[in-house]
Amino acid sequence: MSTTTTRVAVVTGGSRGIGRGVVRRLAADGFAVVVGYAGKRDEADAAVEEVVGAGGRALAVQADVADEAAVAAMFEGAEEAFGGVDVVVHAAGRMTLSPVAELDLADLDALHRTNVRGTFVVAQQVARRVRAGGALVLFSTSVLGRPLPSYGAYAASKGAVEALTAVLAKEWRGRDITVNAVAPGPVATDLFLEGKSPELLARLADEPPMQRLGTPEDVAGLVAFLAGPDGRWIHGQVVRANGGLV
């Protein structure tokens, strides 16, 4: 483990949704946190203010995760502000829903640029910069285990993330850096709730045996475990967090 007093986490997509929950949880666990965000500075600033207001340390950095120069600069900002990087949670992502036959290929390209290329770009910086005793947590989806119509492009991109998780575990042999993927089911974020009728939300909430939608905190607890000392023997795995959906 790092010998510094404070461990440092970079959370992409940290300004809202599950990423925001992860920022909140890791800060509560004592991490200094870099809140990576794509475009909405006000939400990133609010995430930082929440952490600082609770007595923690945080910094917002804008970066397109598919832009290698921007991601490198984000890691450099973490090193300059907090002295290094120990944990990276790559929660940034894009979702496009469409039947394959009707899919706009420009939307497919944009989705894969963020979800696949972005994951490779972040993983490269982790390999180059994260300190021994560190962790990378990627995001997949439970849709891979429970295929649904219209999710073809999104599921394909997350299949790539799961494959990369297994490969990185082998490539980082001897590095003392764990890599795992979390695969959430339906989570009650603003993005997920938007545009859905109360009836649809009630049906979705009833599907898991736990009979509710997940919360960002549910997923953040799993991320914190994988990023912390109790998760050091978990490596190269995909963990589904979905209330029992199969």
Burial 162-187 (b: 16+ CB within 10 A, else e): bebbeebbeebeebebbbbbbbbbbb
Amino acid at 194: E
> What's the domain count of the chain?
1
* Strand partners for 181: 138, 238
Q: Mean pLDDT, 10 residues at a time, over the chain (246 residues)?
A: 72 97 98 96 96 97 98 98 98 95 98 98 98 98 92 97 98 97 93 85 91 95 97 97 90
Asked whether residue 154 is assigned to any structural domain, the reply reads yes
Range of the domain at 24: 8-239
Nearest one of 93, 180, 85, 183 to 137, comparing CA atoms: 180
pLDDT for the residue numbered 5:
65
Catalytic residues: 154
For 134-186, what is each residue's pLDDT tens digit?
A: 999 999 999 999 888 999 999 999 999 999 999 999 999 999 999 999 999 99
pLDDT for the residue numbered 2:
41
Contact 38, 12 (CB under 8 A): no
Asked whether residue 244 is assigned to any structural domain, the reply reads no
Asked whether residue 17 is assigned to any structural domain, the reply reads yes
Whole-prediction pTM: 0.95
Tokens 């859905």, residue? Answer: 196
Asked whether residue 75 is assigned to any structural domain, the reply reads yes
Asked whether residue 1 is assigned to any structural domain, the reply reads no
Contact 76, 3 (CB under 8 A): no
CATH number at residue 138: 3.40.50.720
Q: State the Cα–Cα distance between residues 47 and 41, nearest whole angstrom.
A: 10
Asked whether residue 245 is assigned to any structural domain, the reply reads no
Asked whether residue 3 is assigned to any structural domain, the reply reads no
Asked whether residue 87 is assigned to any structural domain, the reply reads yes
